[in-house]
């Protein structure tokens, strides 16, 4: 992951987002009997923070739109190593901070660096269209620009399904205590994400995989 140098000490904020879909209705129905003291509206807002998406019209066989999905990071879990910009500190992204920042992920780009070992924000090769918290995993999905970056699909297929991971990019990251050995991020804004080798990511439990749609012609190197 990559943190902006501008870091602050603060408490977490919460932002409510919107997401349409049957999943929210199912969760509300299943939880209704056990949440008598919580209004339906309050429960809906709480569930909405866990999943957000931008719907794009389907274009069958679109040559420049290759679906992907992956685990961007873990919440409430310390990173395996210090990310770039964290001044040597491992970091923890709190669940509250992740929920509040979900809206900022939508429409952000994914990028990659030659060698698959870091970030290059100028190599924007795709877009994030959905984000969801699944237990401790922050899952994302979107599209790669397969026609514009024909080298990407063969490289990922060559590496295998478990070789690639992800790393987030942040701005305005707030740290609860900058003197702590492990920094706790209580607020942040997502500005993008990188695709890289899992072994190079700050969180080794991240993942990235392609979802080839029907009618998609495989790119050739």
Please check the confidence at residue 7 and state whether its pLDDT lies above 80: no
**What's the rounded mean pLDDT across residues 78-96?**
95
Give pTM, 2 decimals: 0.76
Span of 45-59, 134-148, 191-205 with lowest mean pLDDT = 45-59
- Residue by residue, DSSP assigns the chain as -B--S-EE------------SHHHHHHHHHHGGG-TTS-HHHHHHHHHTTEEE------TT-TT-EEEEEEEEESSSB-SSPPBTSTT-EEEE-HHHHHHHHHHHTTPEEEE-TTSSS--TT-EEEEEEEEEEETTEEEEEEEE-TTT-TTHHHHHHHH-TTSEEEEEEEEEEEES-TTSSEEEEEEEEEEEEEEEEGGGSSSTT-EEEE-PPTTPPPP--
Tell me, what's the pLDDT at 161?
75
Tell me, what's the pLDDT at 99?
96
Tell me, what's the pLDDT at 162?
85
Confidence of residue 3 (pLDDT cuts 50, 70, 90): low
Tell me, what's the pLDDT at 127?
98
pLDDT tens-digit map of 58-69: 899 999 999 999
Please check the confidence at residue 104 and state whether its pLDDT lies above 90: yes
Domain-wise residue ranges, the chain: 7-210
Confidence of residue 220 (pLDDT cuts 50, 70, 90): very low
């Amino acid at each position: 992951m990559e943190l902006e140098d501008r870091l602050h000490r603060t408490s977490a904020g919460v932002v409510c987002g919107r997401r349409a879909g049957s999943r929210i209705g199912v969760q509300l129905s299943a939880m209704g009997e056990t949440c008598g003291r919580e209004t339906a509206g309050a429960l809906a807002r709480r569930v909405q923070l866990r999943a957000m998406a931008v719907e794009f019209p389907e274009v069958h066989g679109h040559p420049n739109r290759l679906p992907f999905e992956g685990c961007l990071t873990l919440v409430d879990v310390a990173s395996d190593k210090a990310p770039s910009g964290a001044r040597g500190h491992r970091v923890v992204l709190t669940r509250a901070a992740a929920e509040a920042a979900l809206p900022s992920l939508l429409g952000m780009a994914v990028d990659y660096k030659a060698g698959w070992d870091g970030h290059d924000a100028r190599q924007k090769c795709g877009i994030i269209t959905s984000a969801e918290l699944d237990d401790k995993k922050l899952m994302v999905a979107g599209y790669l620009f397969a026609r514009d970056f024909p080298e990407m699909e063969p490289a990922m297929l060559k590496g295998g399904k478990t070789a690639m991971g992800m790393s987030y990019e942040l701005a305005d990251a707030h740290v609860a205590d900058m003197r702590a050995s492990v920094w706790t991020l209580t607020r942040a804004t997502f500005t993008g994400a990188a695709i890289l080798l899992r072994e190079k990511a700050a969180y080794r439990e991240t993942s990235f995989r392609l979802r080839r749609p029907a009618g998609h012609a495989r790119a050739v190197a």
